[in-house]
Structures are given as structure tokens and as C-alpha cells.
Structure 1
Amino acid sequence: MFWYFFWAFIGILAGVALGFFIARKYMMNYLKKNPPINEQMLKMMMMQMGMKPSQKKINQMMSAMNKQMK
């Protein structure tokens, strides 16, 4: 009787750990393929803050965000 509970507990722990790592890998790949902020969104945010966004400034901010994501 004890062994049934022991193996069930071990199975649950293994399932939780495996599920965590699979979900983490999936989210990392998803965010890499679909970044939360793109150039258009960045341009609109800068315009809303009262800045005139130049393409150079947008490229600098995007590269900084991409470096931070890695």
C-alpha cells in the first residue's frame, strides 16, 4: 500500500517538473518568434510621448530590446 502512494507521489513530482520545463521552452520560443513590441508599436509610443521618432532611434531601441531579450 505504501509503495502505491510513493510511486504516485514520485510520478506527480516528475510530471510537474517536466511540465514546467516544457512550458518554459515553449514560451521562450513563442516570445522569440513573436516579440511583444515591434517597430510600429515603438514608433506610436514615442509619438504619444511627444517625441519625433527617427528611424535611427527606433533601430537603436529595437536592437537594445533584442539584446536584453537574449
Structure 2
Amino acid sequence: MELAVAYTDPPEYMKKEVYEAFVLAYIQALAAGASSESALSAAIEAAVDRTWAAGMGISFGRD
């Protein structure tokens, strides 16, 4: 399987570290064979939780 990724700058409201965690989680999920939207969403949600816990990003309502 060949995977090409085009990196863009993060949206203005998102810290670079959080955006990079999203991109990395997505790539890792694809590399691990995730093909469904729910599997990709779960991988990205886990990345959100890790970055939130590390204090690097947006809380998404998790106070």
C-alpha cells in the first residue's frame, strides 16, 4: 500500500501540536489497516484525548 500525504498549516484556532497529532493518528490508523470511518474517528479521538491530557490543545468541552 502506498500512502501520500499533503501537509497543510493547521487552522488558526488549533495549535500546531494538536494538528500534527491529528495527522499522525490518521496516518497511523491507515497504516494499521483501518478502513472504516468509525475506526479512523476512534484513532483521531484518541489523539485528541492524548493531546488534551498533555495540556497541548483544545479541550473540546472537556473541562
TM over 0.5: no
Q: TM-score, normalised by structure 1?
A: 0.37
Q: Larger relative CO (CA 8 A, sep 6+): 1 or 2? A: 2
The structure with the largest alpha-carbon Rg is 1
Question: What TM-score results when the alignment is normalised by the length of structure 2?
Answer: 0.40
- Please identify which structure carries the higher helix content: 1
